[in-house]
Amino acid sequence: MNQVGKNRKWTSLSLVAIALLLVSGSADAGLFGLFGSKKKPKPLPTESLIVFPFDQEEGGARIPEEFGVDIASTLRSMLSGDAKYATYLYNQRLSPIRRAKEDSTLKTQDITPPFAEEREKAIRLADILAGDFLLVGSIDDYQVDTAKRQAQLTLTAELIRMVGREKGKLVKTFTVTGSVPESAKAIEEDELRALAAGDAVSKLKEEIAKTGEDKPEEVAE
């Protein structure tokens, strides 16, 4: 396996591990009811959310190819325990998208990134997938200092409504910055980048979850 492949594998595994840790962190005490947990089961999600791969600059400095897909996949994993949304990761191989491509309803450029930069493209795809909401985002900034074992990564995302009279309307824009925890022992750049990204995605997940609790009249114009 070449170095690029190793970095890609490490990054994916790290982000998934962070997602699982954060999603399951509060579940230990009532595991399988062994300790008599009295928590009520969470209600089933009532609305669907489609998360698109995050945009990233082509050849962006020191960010691996497909890192935007890893960001979106980790966010979907973190949101999977949220009672508000049934969350799905967009992929051009999904059956409705593949059929639309085969019958020439969609062209290659209609189903591939960028999505945040070309929001109407994402809206059309989410409509085909019958999503209630969609989320597009971008990796806006990445800084690393391996000597100090620090990294920062900034994400911007947009939550868009896909149902009713407000179809295609922006609900809220989020901007979060993640960094490496002080306790981290990472020294390699790919490790530092993954930790910063995991922190950023965790913060983004919390912001999205809070938006799900907003009342309709509080939705942004």
Average pLDDT for runs of 10 along the chain of length 221? 53 53 42 47 78 82 87 95 88 96 95 96 97 97 92 97 92 97 87 95 94 47 37
Taking the C-alpha atoms of residue 144 and residue 157, their distance in angstroms, rounded to an integer, is 22
Give pLDDT, residue 41: 62
CB distance 201 to 153 below 8 Å: no
Q: Which helix (H) or strand (E) holds 135?
A: strand 133-145
Give pLDDT, residue 84: 84
Instruction: Out of 3.40.50.10610, 3.30.230.10, 1.10.3290.10, 3.40.190.10, select the CATH number for domain 3-22+43-215.
Output: 3.40.50.10610
**Nearest Cα to 172, choosing from 163, 183, 161, 164?**
161
Q: What is the pTM of this model?
A: 0.79
CB distance 159 to 133 below 8 Å: yes
* DSSP label of 55: B
Give pLDDT, residue 19: 45
Q: Would you list the domain boundaries of the chain?
A: 3-22+43-215
Tokens of 155: 């994400």
By the 10 Å C-beta count (0-12 exposed, 13-18 middle, 19+ buried), 220 is classed as exposed
Q: What is the amino acid identity at position 36?
A: G
Give pLDDT, residue 183: 85
A 10 A CB-CB count for 205 gives 22
Q: What's the per-residue H, E or C state across 94-114?
A: CHHHHHHHHCCCCCHHHHCCC
